[in-house]
Structure 1
Amino acid sequence: MFGVATLPSLFTAWASGTATGLGLFAVVGAQTAFILRQGLMRAYLPSILMLCALLDGIFIFVSVWGLQAATRHVPWLGAIILWPGIAFLAWYGFQAGRRALKPGSGLAASRAAASSRRAALLSAAGFTLLNPHFWLDMMLVGSLAHGFADARLGFAAGALSASVIWLSVLGLGARLLAPLFANPRAWRVLDGAVAIVMVLLAVGLAWKGI
């Protein structure tokens, strides 16, 4: 049960949650690479950012309410989360690698991807919910929030603030980089970097899961 927290304690928890969230979320990973690529091609970026922020918000507060407790009582839940995420990362890395090796395909793929809002949102949801790091982050947020007792919801609000800040930075960064990616070669370089990031994430997670 949650008691009544004082305003100073809520502010302290919020500030701590914001700092912790920035440390957890401000990394170059699967979701980051996807958002940057969508932003560079100007393909439904506001909708994607809103969906990612919404999912982060839902699961941050769910984590505070008991996601960590659920995994403590059901240890094999971690494996269920882990392996589909590894497969998803490996598949996307393979696709990005194919685009990087084919001249002009990165730019063509970007134009094709921009034709469907539904596909863009489904991909965004996949990069969020099928990413094992996402679930690890959520469980960590829930665990740390409990250290703030009655102000734990303030910590959760801070973590959500960090998510919104990071997503906004990604959206703005993609817009500023757009002129550079008028050159098709830049898309091949980006896809090559995305492929490396995805494969390394998949291999690293699989190694830990064995």
Structure 2
Amino acid sequence: MSSLFAGFTIGLSLIVAIGAQNAFILKQGLLRQHVFWVCTVCFISDSIALSAGIAGFGLVVAKFPEIEWVARWAGAAFLFWYGAINFRSAWTNTTGLVATGDSPKSLYKTILLCLAFTWLNPHFYLDTLVMIGSISTQYPDPLMFGVGTISASCVFFYSLGYGARLLEPVFAKPHSWRILDTLIGIIMWFIALSLVA
């Protein structure tokens, strides 16, 4: 039980940080656009990476640093592009919750965006494959530790996606939505710069 609890708390502490993926989930939750699928893609991606990390794939990443280098530069380019879209949306939005610069996307495009936010982020690999993988070896039951970390991902992603609607009254105002878009743009550009700095 201690391994399960440790996995849950450590997994939750790593995932709650405000990042590109979480900002995207929050925005989709506020717009009520493909929330289930966004949360599910993030959860399945996390589950795959966490399982691989605990199984020892982190050693492969350490042996082939090119994987991290490609993810770093591709991720930075993607985040810079998406940050620019959010800045444009903040500038043009005058309608409140449904942002004029952010018309509803198809499920296909939304899933592609979600996959990019996840798999083009080098921190994703470091947290799941390397960090969680190495921490899991310190516990007597790595399997239960893994179950704990995966459970934390499940609870967090679906809570963030579906809990975002509680903020709808605030984001019915164009001013609030502009602030959110601006903050998301800043976060995206800050992470992009930190990746290549």
Residue 61 of structure 2 is aligned with which of 71, 74, 78? 71
2:155 corresponds to which letter in structure 1? I
Contact 2:61 2:68 in 1 (8 A): yes
Q: Percent identity over the alignment?
A: 35
Residue 55 of structure 1 and its aligned partner are, at CA, apart by: 1.0
Residue 175 of structure 2 is aligned with which of 172, 179, 185? 185
Q: Does 1:32 align with 2:22?
A: yes
- Gaps spanning 5+ residues in structure 1: where? 1-10
Partner Cα separation in structure 1 for residue 66 and residue 34 of structure 2: 37
Q: Does 1:202 align with 2:192?
A: yes
Partner Cα separation in structure 2 for residue 165 and residue 41 of structure 1: 20
Partner Cα separation in structure 1 for residue 65 and residue 195 of structure 2: 17
Corresponding residue of 1:7: none
Query: What is the TM-score normalised by the length of structure 2?
Result: 0.92
Corresponding residue of 2:121: 131
2:136 corresponds to which letter in structure 1? A
Residue 68 of structure 1 and its aligned partner are, at CA, apart by: 1.1
Residue 103 of structure 1 and its aligned partner are, at CA, apart by: 4.1
Runs of 4+ in 1 over 3 A off after TM superposition: none
Question: Where do 1:37-48 residues align within 5 Å?
Answer: 37-48=27-38
Query: What is the TM-score normalised by the length of structure 1?
Result: 0.86
Corresponding residue of 2:133: 142
Q: Does 1:19 align with 2:19?
A: no
Deviations 1:23-81 (A, max 9, x none): 10011110111011111111010111111111111111011112211022223322122
Corresponding residue of 2:100: 108
Deviations 1:146-192 (A, max 9, x none): 2225x111111111111112113212331101122222222211110
Partner Cα separation in structure 2 for residue 103 and residue 124 of structure 1: 23
The number of aligned residues is: 194
Q: Secondary structure at the match of 1:108?
A: coil
What is the Cα-based RMSD across aligned positions, in Å? 1.6
Q: Identify which range, 53-62 or 76-85, moves more after superposition.
A: 76-85
Larger Rg over CA atoms: 1
